[in-house]
């Protein structure tokens, strides 16, 4: 079975500082990896995903995540955060269909609340 | 991406009562799901809402407690029955928005925050 661990429940940071939100997963087979973001009073939105290929993936708003197979990690980073990045961030995994026999559900971590202060 | 509207956005309920949450999507979707997010915990899949047939429930969730309807490809409801304080959670509707290279990408509603007294 797959599982996801987000090591920090809350991360406070000052504006323009760098940030890293940590995510580790457990799986006996290869997985797809996702980061979702939930801004206050909104639904979860896909931030970025790793399916295959380059281990470094980027989002349109400056976040990036690196897939590290040996460490089973998919940490999210941003070199300089803005107040508007304040949100809850969820790491998630799912199995490719060749392993699941079809659709397979997303397994989420507990979330990390990023609070950016001026 | 699909746009999802959930109602109510929040409610305070009395123990023993039931509440129905509605999920409306702005386009037809093949798959709809209901998740629960308990305080300080991750999102947990409750069930897959199947159009025209009974929902498919995950381990630990049963139809008597969480009856689900899906009368068409754009609408679903989740009822939380005979509520207790342990049912205080955020309930989220989600849909399969697109498939990219075999990976399923979900879109979520804003959630319904229930507090049971």
**pLDDT tens-digit series, residues B12-46:** 999 999 999 999 999 999 889 999 998 878 889 99
Please report which confidence band the pLDDT of residue A51 belongs to, taking 50, 70 and 90 as the band edges: confident
Q: Which residues contact B48 (CB under 8 A, 6 or more apart)?
A: B31, B32, B33, B55, B56
Q: Which residues contact A20 (CB under 8 A, 6 or more apart)?
A: A75, A76, A77
Is residue A33 a contact partner of residue A50, using CB atoms and an 8 Å limit?
yes
pLDDT, mean over chain B: 91
Taking the C-alpha atoms of residue A35 and residue A111, their distance in angstroms, rounded to an integer, is 10
The nearest alpha carbon in chain B to A93 belongs to: B103
Pairing of strands A87-94, B103-108: unpaired
In terms of C-beta distances under 8 Å and separation of at least 24 residues, what long-range contacts does A60-64 make, across chains too? A61/A85, A63/A35
Taking the C-alpha atoms of residue B1 and residue A22, their distance in angstroms, rounded to an integer, is 27
For range B81-102, the mean pLDDT: 89
Instruction: Give A28→chain B minimum CA distance, Å.
Output: 18
- Please, is B117 exposed, middle or buried when counting C-beta atoms within 10 Å of its C-beta (0-12, 13-18, 19+)? exposed
Percent of chain A with pLDDT over 70: 92
Mark yes or no for CB contact A46/B106 under 8 Å: yes
Is residue B9 a contact partner of residue B62, using CB atoms and an 8 Å limit?
no
- As a 3-state breakdown, chain A gives helix, strand, coil percent values, each rounded to 5, of 5, 50, 45
Task: Using the predicted structure, report yes or no on whether residue A64 has a pLDDT greater than 80.
Answer: yes
CB nearest A51 (choices: B31, B100, B109): B100
Please report which confidence band the pLDDT of residue A25 belongs to, taking 50, 70 and 90 as the band edges: very high
Please report which confidence band the pLDDT of residue A54 belongs to, taking 50, 70 and 90 as the band edges: confident
Spell out which residues of chain B touch residue A42, defining contact as CB-CB under 8 Å. Answer: 110
The residue among A77 and B43 whose pLDDT is bigger is: A77
3-state secondary structure of A50: strand
CB nearest B108 (choices: A43, A51, A109): A43
Instruction: Give A105→chain B minimum CA distance, Å.
Output: 8
Residue in B32, B102, B113 to test binding to A, most A beta-carbons within 10 Å: B102
A108 to A92, B75, B103: CA distances (angstroms): 4, 24, 15
Spell out which residues of chain A touch residue B46, defining contact as CB-CB under 8 Å. Answer: none
Taking the C-alpha atoms of residue A37 and residue A61, their distance in angstroms, rounded to an integer, is 12
Instruction: Give A66→chain B minimum CA distance, Å.
Output: 18
For range A106-114, the mean pLDDT: 92
> What was the pLDDT predicted at A65?
96
> What was the pLDDT predicted at B36?
95
């Amino acid at each position: 079975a797959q599982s996801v661990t987000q090591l920090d429940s809350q991360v406070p940071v000052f504006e323009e500082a760098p940030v890293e939100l940590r995510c580790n997963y457990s799986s006996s087979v290869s997985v797809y990896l996702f980061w979702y973001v939930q801004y206050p009073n909104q639904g979860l939105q896909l931030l970025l995903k790793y399916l295959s290929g380059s281990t470094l993936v980027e989002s349109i708003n400056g976040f990036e995540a690196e897939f590290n197979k040996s460490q089973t990690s998919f940490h999210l980073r941003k070199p300089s955060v803005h107040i508007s990045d304040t949100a809850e961030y969820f790491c998630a995994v799912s199995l490719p269909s060749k392993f699941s026999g079809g659709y397979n559900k997303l397994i989420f971590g507990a979330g990390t609340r990023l609070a950016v202060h001026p | 991406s699909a746009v999802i509207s959930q109602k109510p956005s929040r409610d305070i309920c009395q123990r023993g009562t039931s509440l129905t949450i509605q999920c409306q999507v702005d386009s037809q979707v093949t798959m709809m799901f209901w998740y629960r997010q308990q305080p300080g915990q991750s999102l947990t899949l409750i069930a897959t809402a199947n159009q025209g047939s009974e929902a498919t429930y995950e381990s630990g969730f049963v139809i008597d407690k969480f009856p689900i309807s899906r009368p068409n490809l754009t609408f679903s409801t989740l009822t939380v029955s005979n509520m207790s304080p342990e049912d205080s959670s955020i309930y989220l509707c989600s849909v399969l928005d697109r498939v990219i290279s075999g990976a399923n990408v979900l879109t979520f509603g804003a959630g319904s925050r229930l507090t049971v007294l």
